[in-house]
Amino acid sequence: MNWFATPFEALLYLIEVAATIAFALSGVIMAARKRLDIVGVCVVAFVAAFGGGTLRDLLLDQRPFFWVRNVNFIWGILALSVTAMLFMRQRHFQPTERAMLLPDAIGLGLFAAVGVDMATAAQLPALVAVMMGVITGVFGGVLRDVLCNEIPQAFQDHRPYALCAFVGGWADIGLRQLDSPAWLTVVACVVVTAGLRGLALWRNWQLPIWRV
Amino acid sequence: MNWFATPFEALLYLIEVAATIAFALSGVIMAARKRLDIVGVCVVAFVAAFGGGTLRDLLLDQRPFFWVRNVNFIWGILALSVTAMLFMRQRHFQPTERAMLLPDAIGLGLFAAVGVDMATAAQLPALVAVMMGVITGVFGGVLRDVLCNEIPQAFQDHRPYALCAFVGGWADIGLRQLDSPAWLTVVACVVVTAGLRGLALWRNWQLPIWRV
Amino acid sequence: MNWFATPFEALLYLIEVAATIAFALSGVIMAARKRLDIVGVCVVAFVAAFGGGTLRDLLLDQRPFFWVRNVNFIWGILALSVTAMLFMRQRHFQPTERAMLLPDAIGLGLFAAVGVDMATAAQLPALVAVMMGVITGVFGGVLRDVLCNEIPQAFQDHRPYALCAFVGGWADIGLRQLDSPAWLTVVACVVVTAGLRGLALWRNWQLPIWRV
């Protein structure tokens, strides 16, 4: 990896690292709650961090995967998992999850923007591009929960999460139609997604419920 | 999408729409039983409807996916999910499931025929082609159940379902060996699959049970 | 399939058959415990035997799959599943699992070597190649457990399994760096993996545990 062409790229990279750590830590905590062994912790952390992007690349038939191009991210996940196993105690879980809300929300927006960008580059229709953005941001957590034998949190949390990425993805698409510069579409997707997510958590918005 | 070349194609299209709705509704009902939120309902309905074909295309390395070529199907699933959430009550579940048995059985046969056709076009051996037919028809439901944290119904129902598609797929393959016209192989697969499924439900056939 | 060029190839083939049977039987037994029907038994046995290699090929974008090139393996799995359903009783499960420990351990090593080899041929970095080896050996069992609605045994067993394949994969990679002949890298991977697995079972090694 070379040095960054612009400060904006450097910022993006920093956000990406922070988001990947947040996603991986969600996997570590879930694995700890399920009392998995070190192999389980590493795999679940890896899947939580890279599962969404990998599924997107599988669907788009893109190679190489992000984690093949940047092997250091894998080493980082392994180091994180082992360190967490050595030093993390149950009383750290809740504070960690709270501290991770911000990088998680920003990362959700950034991952969605990356997904939209790759799908648009592959000439896919707008709706599919937004879906790919949502998949990039959300399906790491979905696969994490499936591996841990839980119904995915993203499907039953009743707090808007995937929906924020969905709206953010449309903001991205809309600005693309207006021939905005690339950086603006990314910023818009991140700001809309993370902003909505923040609002949803702050105002305690609930998704409508089945009255079955 | 253009108008149809023949009435047969129009009929096929109608069956495909009905089957997709039936499969999606099975996802909606499962999601409602699990009390998922609207995101979960949409995703599970989508996976139930398109998961089998998507897995087949992943395995066959075919792009674009059906739902990328026909984005209107995605909008339809989203509309169906939201409508169901607004208007469907628990007392509707059983009648809906009963009303869906027919489109589901016919759709199973049609999806199997599509899978066999695509696998044969990709020069795969007969057994693999039949497997791809079964996967197309059955794995939407399997992925739906995995996402909802259930053992897939297709694996433990003890009523023949996948097996009907398996036999129907072989009927399709057999007619191909005899150089039958394309429409006849599809009709044969649908009639055999749906006929067997209907017989199985009517006569209450049971698959043999482990006497462990 | 032609006759084998060398006795070494014939031996490899024999090991591969034995390992595939061992993996499939682990699926059969799991399916029986969950009281699946014959369709479930066949699918779970198939996934346990070929799921790891298929996931690897999906990730590496390799076609055709092993089981497409060797359709007889699919017929074998189907025959094995039906035979087991007819003749296997609960009291056979534990002895079978014990008898399968050896082919399973050797198969783990062999599958890992195959995965490393394919990933190296695709020019992937060493760490990714080792991961592909581990995925080949372990993810059949992971997918088997996910389909049966269990947390994967490989993630919570606390007995080294995936880790043996991980070390064996690095042995393979190390010998490749030294320009060893191909057969030696395979033998090293199998010996290290199966040896470690045997030691772990014999000495009852445990992976470290979360003290949450």
| Three-state DSSP string of C84-125 | HHHHCCHHHHHHHHHHCHHHHHHHHHHHHHHHHHHHHHCCCC
pLDDT in tens, A173-186: 999 999 999 899 99
C138 closest CA partner among A141, B60, A42: A42
Q: Which of B9-23, B42-56, B130-144 has the lowest mean pLDDT?
A: B9-23
pLDDT bucket at B5, cuts 50 / 70 / 90: confident
The verdict on a CB contact (< 8 Å) between B61 and A58 is no
C112 closest CA partner among C54, C64, C67, C52: C52
The verdict on a CB contact (< 8 Å) between B32 and A142 is no
* Alpha-carbon dihedral angle through residues A137, A138, A144, A146, given to the nearest 10 degrees: -150
Chains in touch with C (≥3 Cβ pairs < 8 A)? A, B
Chains in touch with A (≥3 Cβ pairs < 8 A)? B, C
Task: Residue C32: list chain B partners with CB under 8 A.
Answer: 210, 212
Task: Residue C85: list chain B partners with CB under 8 A.
Answer: 208, 210
| Residue A8 confidence (pLDDT) | 81
A112 Cβ partners below 8 Å, 6+ apart? Answer: A133, A134, A136, A137, A165, A168, A169, A172, A189, A193
Residue to substitute from A28, A29, A42, A43, interface C, most C β-carbons within 10 A:
A43
pLDDT bucket at A13, cuts 50 / 70 / 90: confident
pLDDT in tens, A59-96: 999 999 999 999 999 999 999 999 998 888 888 888 88
- The minimal CB distance from C146 to the residues A39, A58, A146 is found for A146
The verdict on a CB contact (< 8 Å) between A67 and C128 is yes
Q: Quote the percentage of chain B above a pLDDT of 70.
A: 98
Task: Residue B58: list chain C partners with CB under 8 A.
Answer: 58
Taking 3-state DSSP, the helix, strand and coil percentages for chain A, each rounded to the nearest 5, stand at: 80, 0, 20
The verdict on a CB contact (< 8 Å) between B155 and C31 is yes
pLDDT tens series, chain C, 212 aa:
456 778 888 888 888 899 999 999 999 999 999 999 999 999 999 999 999 999 999 999 999 999 999 999 999 999 999 999 888 888 888 888 898 899 999 999 999 999 999 999 999 999 999 999 999 999 999 999 999 999 999 999 999 999 999 999 999 999 999 999 989 999 999 999 999 999 999 999 998 877 76
C174 Cβ partners below 8 Å, 6+ apart? Answer: none
Q: Are A166 and A134 in contact (CB under 8 A)?
A: yes
Using the predicted structure, report yes or no on whether residue B81 has a pLDDT greater than 90: yes
- Residue type at C154? A
Mean pLDDT of B87-111: 90
| Residue B1 confidence (pLDDT) | 46
How many Cβ atoms from other residues are within 10 Å of residue B133's Cβ? 33
Q: Report residue A186 as tokens.
A: 């990314």
Examine the predicted complex and report whether its ipTM is higher than 0.85: yes
| Residue A1 confidence (pLDDT) | 46
Using the predicted structure, report yes or no on whether residue A3 has a pLDDT greater than 80: no
| Residue C13 confidence (pLDDT) | 87
d(CA B140, CA B112): 12
Question: Is the pTM for the entire model greater than 0.90?
Answer: yes
pLDDT bucket at B92, cuts 50 / 70 / 90: confident
B25 Cβ partners below 8 Å, 6+ apart? Answer: B45, B80, B84, B96, B100
| Residue A149 confidence (pLDDT) | 96
Distance (Å) from the C-alpha of residue B148 to the closest C-alpha of chain A? 5
A159 Cβ partners below 8 Å, 6+ apart? Answer: A200, A201, A204, A205, A206, A207
Q: Give the E-state strand segments of A11-107 in sequence order.
A: none
What region, left, alpha or beta, does residue B161 occupy, with left being phi > 0 and alpha being psi -120 to 50 degrees? Answer: alpha
d(CA B30, CA B146): 11
Distance (Å) from the C-alpha of residue A166 to the closest C-alpha of chain C? 27
* Alpha-carbon dihedral angle through residues A38, A39, A43, A48, given to the nearest 10 degrees: -20
